[in-house]
Amino acid sequence: MFDCIIVGAGPAGGTAAYHLAKRGHSVLVLEKESLPRYKPCGGGVSPIVQEWFDFDFSPAISLKTNKIRYTWRMGDPVEVEMETPEPLWMVMRNVFDHFLVQQAQKQGAQLQEQAEVTSIEFKSDRWQVNTANESFCCRYLIAADGGKGPMARWLGFKKRKRSMGGALESETPAPSINEPIVHLDFGTVKNGYIWNFPKAEGYSIGIGMFRGGGAQNLKGMVAEYSQQFDVDLKAYKQYGHPLSLWDGYQTLHTENAILAGEAACVVDPFTAEGIRPSIFSGLKAAEAINRVLGGEGDALEKYSQVINEEWGNDMLWAKRIAQTFYKIPEVGYKVGVKHPRSTQTMSKVLCGEATYSDVASRALKRLLGIGN
């Protein structure tokens, strides 16, 4: 009998496991793969996440960068240096996720690898979590098995409010990286963008649609884009995956269980940032489970409220900005992206120094050509 079982060893699951185990609770993490396991992901992480932990993330960071180069349909470039105290982290998810779980294990959390959950059952006052080889029981359950995982459906969340997007990504070695720069291209793909995130080992090149762009040749677009970096994507495996974007108020708790990470649809609907919000939800999930174990009866309900108020309300502004930007992307690029302060504003949002709601009015006016 565990105090808490966490299904999924991604950023949300690892974060929740660390903070619960550190508080002295018995924790079991169930992961269907063997760690470290490959995960296609751009891998950009805001350094603000360091504030939520008492250990140093340096061993899990591939490299850091504070420069972004934007293009419009692979031309009209503009390069900006971010004015942030700490540069943006670039991580490999196999290293980053495993490192986070290892910190949880040091605090006493247990990990079961190659333990895909096959079903769950609520029995009076506890959850029974079944895998192919073994069953486990817990007082409380955190579903952190990602946007494609079955846990949310099994827990009864059949009508989650989310906006679905999709991404196609590939990790490639780089002929040479003289300076780590984040590359973002707008306009080539409808309702999305193409990216190239530098890593110590090479590039993470991908393309994503966030509002539904109909039938588009994503493979062809990203392959053409990659040629700018002397990369032939046809030589490397490409991975496609859905994006569960935040789309409004969510109920994220049920009987002795809560959703966290992309299972809770916390992905930013403007940038598709997912790691920081997943870690944030894992942190808040741990706090909620800790409180309910301490006798606070409405702690899980408050978890839904906290995520909606502290994350979701600002994501509604992100969604509004995205709808405006992707509706008129050429104007958005000229008036928004190329504006001297836009990158600094967005970097403050990513680093927690500002919110979308702080800047939405000014950004929307700029996109519509009103004011400066």
The CATH number for 275's domain is 3.50.50.60
pLDDT digits (tens, 9 = 90+) for 84-112: 888 999 999 999 999 999 999 999 999 99
pLDDT digits (tens, 9 = 90+) for 205-261: 999 988 665 668 889 999 999 999 999 998 999 998 888 899 889 899 999 999 999
CA dist 78 and 64 (Å) reads 20
Cβ contact 248:312 at 8 Å = yes
pTM: 0.93
Beta bridge partners of 198: 203
Report yes or no on 137 lying in a domain: yes
Report yes or no on 261 lying in a domain: yes
Report yes or no on 156 lying in a domain: yes
Tally of CB atoms within 10 A around 160: 16
297 pLDDT tier (thresholds 50, 70, 90): very high
CATH code for the domain in which residue 223 is found: 3.30.9.10
pLDDT digits (tens, 9 = 90+) for 32-69: 999 999 888 899 999 999 999 999 999 999 999 999 99
Cβ contact 205:169 at 8 Å = yes
Report yes or no on 55 lying in a domain: yes
| Helical H segments across 207-298, by residue range | 218-226, 275-293
Tally of structural domains, the chain: 2
As to burial, measured by CB atoms within 10 angstroms (0-12 exposed, 13-18 middle, 19+ buried), residue 312 is: buried
Pair 303, 266 in one domain:
yes
